[in-house]
A and B are shown apart, each in its own frame.
Chain A
Amino acid sequence: MPERTVTVASSVGLHARPASLFSQAAAKAGVPVTLTSAAGKSVNAASILGVLSLGVGHGEQVTLSSDAEGADAALDELVALLETDLDKEE
C-alpha cells in the first residue's frame, strides 16, 4: 500500500487553519486517504475533526496512506502540503 511519512512544517501544528486546508485537499484528492499520527492513531484525512483529534504539533511526523489505485500522485500532493508552513500566509 502506498504510504508516505512526513514531518509537519506548519509552525503551529495541524490545528484549525492548516488542518482545514489539509483536509479540504484530502477530500478533493479523489481517493480515500488515511492519516496516522506518530502515536499510531489513524483517521480519515478528509475529516477535519479527525485531523484535529490527532493533536499533531509542529515538527511531528505523520503517515499518509491509501490503498486506492493511482493514489501515489494524491499522496505526493498532500505530502507537499504538509511540508509547507500553512500558517505563514496570515
Chain B
Amino acid sequence: MTDDETQKPLTELLAPASIRLDAVAADRDDAIRQAGAALIEAGAVEPSYVDAMLERENSVSTYVGEGVAIPHGTLAGKDAVTDDAIVVLRFPAGVDWDGNDVRVAVGIAAKGNGHIALLSQLATVLLDPDKAAALRDATEPDRVYELLAADDEDA
C-alpha cells in the first residue's frame, strides 16, 4: 500500500443508485459512456471525464479478466474528478470489449493517488474466481455490496 491510509472501503464509494444490474450496451464505447453517465449522476465527475475514459480505453484496454472491465479516465482527466466513487454496471447479455466478453463494468473515479488502493481492493476481490463469478451473476444490489465488502477484513 501507499501512504494513502485514508482510502475508504469500496462499499462506501458505491452509492445504491450507482448499481445497474440490467444494463444493455450496443458496444464497448456505449458501455463506457453509461459508466461515465453513472459517475456524473453520482456527483463524482464532470461531463468531460467521459471523454477521458474513452481516451484511456483507446490507449490500453481496461479489461482485466473474469469478464470484468474497469473503465476510468486518463491522468489528465483527473481534473474532472470531484469525488472518489465507483459504479457497477452489469451487462447480462455481455459486451464485446476488444474481443473479450464483458459482463461487468466497474467505472472508477479517483482523485490523487486514491486509485491505487481502490484498484488493489477491487482486484483482490476479482482474483477469487468464485467472487468474480458471483459478481457476474449478481441480481441484487445487496449481493454486490456483500462481494465488494468481502475483502475488507483482510485488507
Using CB atoms and an 8 Å cutoff, list the residues of chain A in contact with chain B.
11-13, 15-17, 20-21, 39, 47-58, 60, 87, 89-90
Contacts and interface: CB of A to CB of B under 8 A. Distances in A.
27 contacts: A11-B75, A12-B75, A12-B115, A12-B116, A13-B116, A15-B116, A16-B60, A16-B62, A16-B72, A16-B119, A17-B60, A21-B60, A50-B123, A52-B122, A53-B120, A53-B123, A53-B127, A55-B119, A55-B120, A57-B2, A57-B3, A57-B4, A57-B113, A57-B116, A60-B2, A89-B59, A90-B56
Contacts of A11: 75
**Which 7 pairs of residues, A with B, have the shortest CB-CB distance?**
A55-B120, A57-B2, A52-B123, A53-B123, A53-B124, A49-B123, A20-B60
Contacts of A57: 1-4, 113, 116
Contacts, number: 73
B126 interface: yes
Nearest to A11: B75
B64 interface: yes
A20 B122 CA distance: 15
Interface residues of B, number: 29
Given A16-B70, A47-B127, A57-B2, 8 more contacts: A11-B75, A16-B62, A17-B59, A20-B62, A53-B124, A55-B119, A57-B116, A90-B75
Contacts of A20: 60-62
Given A13-B116, A49-B64, A53-B120, A90 B127 contact: no
Contact of A90 (B61, B72, B74, B123): B74
A55 B75 contact: no
Interface of B: 1-4, 55-56, 59-62, 64-66, 70, 72, 74-76, 113, 115-117, 119-120, 122-124, 126-127
B56 to A, nearest CB: 7
A19 to B, nearest CB: 8
A55 B1 contact: yes
